[in-house]
A and B are shown apart, each in its own frame.
Chain A
Amino acid sequence: MLGEYVYLDNGAITRMDERVLEAMKPYFFDVYAVATSEFGYSMGIEAREALDDSRKILAQSLGAGEEEFIFTSGSTESSNIAIKGVALALGDKKGKHIIVSKIEDFPVLYSAKSLEKQGFEVTYLDVDDEGFIDLEKLRDCIREDTILVSIQHANQEIGTLQDIATIAQICQEKKVVFHTDATHSFTRAPLDVNNIPVDLVTVSAHTIHGPHGVGGLYIRKGTPLRKWMDGGFQEFNFRAGLENIPGAVGFAKAVQLIDDNENQKLQEMRDRLLDRILNEVPQTTLNGSRLKRSPQNSNITFHFVEGESITLHLDMRGFAVSTGSACFSRSLEASHVITGIGGDHERAHGSVRFTFGRFNTMEDVDNVVDAVTDVVENLRRISPLGKTD
């Protein structure tokens, strides 16, 4: 339909909900003071209360205590605070060995790589063809000098949900700090820190229709973590800098707006898209797991065609999706996730990610499936590959 744009890249970022903006507004224009101590002036106290209330909502959503959650500028900062903070706290005391998976998102992967340059040793755990790490291998990898395991909850590209409950147990038994990047699962897949002995959890508002540039980090009480960005003593002295109060309020509102019905609806859209494409379009491969995947994520490789061509055609027809193709990225490198699950470059090049959000409908699913079926058929007609003659 002309003039309508169907956004199916909610795994990258989501459109903010109007109700979130309404909740934030007063903290731009009416209550704009710096959050002060209880002995400050009234506007500052009001700001402090808004921050505390928001923190309470975020902490509760993870089953955490109020003093165990800090606000940040997003998941990149959260994961950096977590990983480098543990490295600084334990590097000289316990050891310099860190374990991450090969398919982590860039904040975790590049924090690990940066520590490697500073003398830390990093084990990059392989994943199987659906993206799962081998739990026994993880157990075997943990050594005397291992200080941190960082394994994501849901994968950013293929949605694979790791068994973080078991991973957390293994780390607890071995007395190693465990961080998980839950940017792509937070509020979409259950995570309660009372049941799962995880020490650090990265979350973000941008994936759940909250404000962009706001995130958070759960820090279990007693976790060895050294602050490294210097400044004031905000956020229990873990994160310097004035608090983003409208952002925190918006994040809390975004969390309150999510319920099981919505997650169920996302999952139904995901399943309809996967069922239709995998059944109706020949030569397609599902990337990730069919069952253990985040409800909003679907990722499929269309063989013999290239992803940037697919996304551009879809864009011209009014659909926004993304691809793991090298041609789509600024670096011209194929997706490390698809190659990490054992796919060759061809599989990455033809991979397309469709991620759903609150503002999508079942009609969008059917429309994008029809469009992509047609686009792929046309591109295959001009491709030298995959012809049987």
Chain B
Amino acid sequence: MVKREGESKMKFPYGDKVLEHFRNPHNVGKIENPDGKATVGSPACGDMVAVYLKVDADKKIIEDIKFESYGCASNIATGSIITDLAKGKTLEEAKKLQWKDAADALGGLPNLKVHCSVLAINGLHMAIQNYEERNGLIKDKVPTTREIVMKRLNWVMDPTTGMPVVRSELVKDVEVEDGVIKIVVELPEDHPLSNAIKEDIIEKTETLWGIKEVVVSFAE
């Protein structure tokens, strides 16, 4: 076998801080009965992150936060650092955390990897939004329209293409009437992915303002 000098001389594609978080990520796992939760990305995009929150309802402070990652090194490291940064912060403070805060705290991330690492930050923001919507804390209590639902569906990925379902035309249109959202997915009901997409759509839209029910049906 080829002898090489010690590990310290090896050149890795990331800095020490990134590697440290990648090797031993913090705050990994699930929270049972979370106060807020979001799953972003999809296996087809190559990266997927789930974020779980436990929130102090009086102080509006993130008491506990955990994440799970199906992703590359920068995705895992970003999930680790952003959950470190968000823990103990108020929701308002945590909402202001951006990709750059994570990148700075990690001592820099390759530009090529913005796409993979921004997902963990999106996950954090979506989980906070999920908490606020569940608890009626959103500021702009505007009626949920078709446009708002379509916009929200940008966060539901079509697992076959990795594109949002509204862009891959898996969801062509939605209907909103009397607090009920009706969505038709252009897949047969017995398709192996149908159930996962249905659950994802419901999870991301049922908390919208004034919504009582989300009905997902499948095309023939």
Please tell me if the beta carbons of A316 and B68 are within 8 angstroms of each other in the complex: no
Per-residue CB contact flags for chain A residues 303-347 toward chain B (1 = under 8 Å, else 0) read 011101100110110100000011110101010000000001110
Please tell me if the beta carbons of B44 and A304 are within 8 angstroms of each other in the complex: no
In the complex, B43 has a CB within 8 A of chain A: yes
Known: A309-B71, A312-B12, A312-B73. A382 touches B28 (CB 8 A): yes
Please tell me if the beta carbons of B68 and A382 are within 8 angstroms of each other in the complex: yes
Q: How far is the CA of A316 from the CA of B19 in the complex (A)?
A: 9
Find chain B residues with CB under 8 A from A306 CB: 46-47, 70-72, 75
Please tell me if the beta carbons of B5 and A385 are within 8 angstroms of each other in the complex: no
Please tell me if the beta carbons of B1 and A359 are within 8 angstroms of each other in the complex: yes
Q: How far is the CA of A150 from the CA of B12 in the complex (A)?
A: 38
Find chain B residues with CB under 8 A from A334 CB: 46
Please tell me if the beta carbons of B1 and A364 are within 8 angstroms of each other in the complex: yes
Please report whether the interface of chain B is mostly helix, strand, loop or mixed according to DSSP.
mixed
Please tell me if the beta carbons of B49 and A384 are within 8 angstroms of each other in the complex: yes
Q: How far is the CA of A4 from the CA of B14 in the complex (A)?
A: 21
Please tell me if the beta carbons of B22 and A312 are within 8 angstroms of each other in the complex: yes
In the complex, B48 has a CB within 8 A of chain A: yes
Per-residue CB contact flags for chain B residues 56-100 toward chain A (1 = under 8 Å, else 0) read 000000000000111111011000000000000000000000000
Please tell me if the beta carbons of B46 and A3 are within 8 angstroms of each other in the complex: no
Q: How far is the CA of A318 from the CA of B2 in the complex (A)?
A: 11
In the complex, B23 has a CB within 8 A of chain A: yes
Q: How far is the CA of A252 from the CA of B112 in the complex (A)?
A: 41
B167 to chain A, nearest CB (A): 16
Please tell me if the beta carbons of B2 and A15 are within 8 angstroms of each other in the complex: yes
Please tell me if the beta carbons of B43 and A332 are within 8 angstroms of each other in the complex: no
In the complex, A27 has a CB within 8 A of chain B: no
Residue among B5, B19, B69 with max Cβ neighbours from chain A (10 Å): B69
For A308, give its contact among B23, B43, B68, B72 (CB under 8 Å).
B72
For B68, give its contact among A349, A359, A384 (CB under 8 Å).
A384
Per-residue CB contact flags for chain A residues 359-378 toward chain B (1 = under 8 Å, else 0) read 10100100000000000000
In the complex, B191 has a CB within 8 A of chain A: no
For B7, give its contact among A2, A305, A359, A383 (CB under 8 Å).
A2
Find chain B residues with CB under 8 A from A305 CB: 70
In the complex, B115 has a CB within 8 A of chain A: yes
In the complex, A7 has a CB within 8 A of chain B: yes
How many residue pairs between the two chains, A and B, have CB atoms under 8 Å in the bound complex?
Answer: 96
In the complex, A219 has a CB within 8 A of chain B: no
A269 to chain B, nearest CB (A): 13
Find chain B residues with CB under 8 A from A346 CB: 43-44
Residue of A nearest to B43 (CB): A346
B74 to chain A, nearest CB (A): 8
Please tell me if the beta carbons of B12 and A345 are within 8 angstroms of each other in the complex: no
Q: How far is the CA of A312 from the CA of B43 in the complex (A)?
A: 19
B126 to chain A, nearest CB (A): 14
Find chain A residues with CB under 8 A from B116 CB: 327
Which residues of chain B from 1 to 51 have a CB within 8 Å of any chain A CB?
1-7, 10, 12-14, 19, 22-23, 25, 28-29, 39, 43-50
Find chain B residues with CB under 8 A from A7 CB: 2
Please tell me if the beta carbons of A345 and B44 are within 8 angstroms of each other in the complex: yes
B191 to chain A, nearest CB (A): 13
Find chain B residues with CB under 8 A from A221 CB: none
Known: A309-B76, A345-B46. A382 touches B3 (CB 8 A): no
Residue of B nearest to A345 (CB): B44
Find chain A residues with CB under 8 A from B29 CB: 382
Q: How far is the CA of A77 from the CA of B117 in the complex (A)?
A: 38
Known: A332-B112, A345-B43. A384 touches B1 (CB 8 A): no
In the complex, A110 has a CB within 8 A of chain B: no
Find chain B residues with CB under 8 A from A330 CB: 112
For B44, give its contact among A15, A344, A384 (CB under 8 Å).
A344
Find chain A residues with CB under 8 A from B28 CB: 381-382
Residue among A2, A7, A304, A382 with max Cβ neighbours from chain B (10 Å): A382
Q: How far is the CA of A376 from the CA of B76 in the complex (A)?
A: 14
Q: How far is the CA of A3 from the CA of B5 in the complex (A)?
A: 5
Q: Which residues of A contact B (CB under 8 A)?
A: 2-7, 15, 304-306, 308-309, 312-313, 315-316, 318, 325-328, 330, 332, 334, 344-346, 349, 359, 361, 364, 381-385
Given A309-B73, A316-B12, A349-B43, 17 other A-B contacts at CB below 8 A? A3-B5, A4-B3, A7-B2, A306-B47, A308-B73, A309-B71, A309-B72, A313-B23, A318-B7, A345-B162, A359-B1, A359-B2, A361-B1, A364-B1, A382-B28, A384-B48, A384-B49
9 pairs, CB–CB < 8 Å, chain A vs chain B: A5-B2, A15-B2, A306-B70, A308-B72, A312-B12, A315-B12, A327-B73, A345-B43, A349-B46
Q: Which 9 pairs, one residue from A and one from B, show the smallest C-beta to C-beta distance?
A: A327-B72, A384-B68, A346-B43, A308-B72, A384-B50, A345-B44, A383-B70, A382-B28, A5-B4
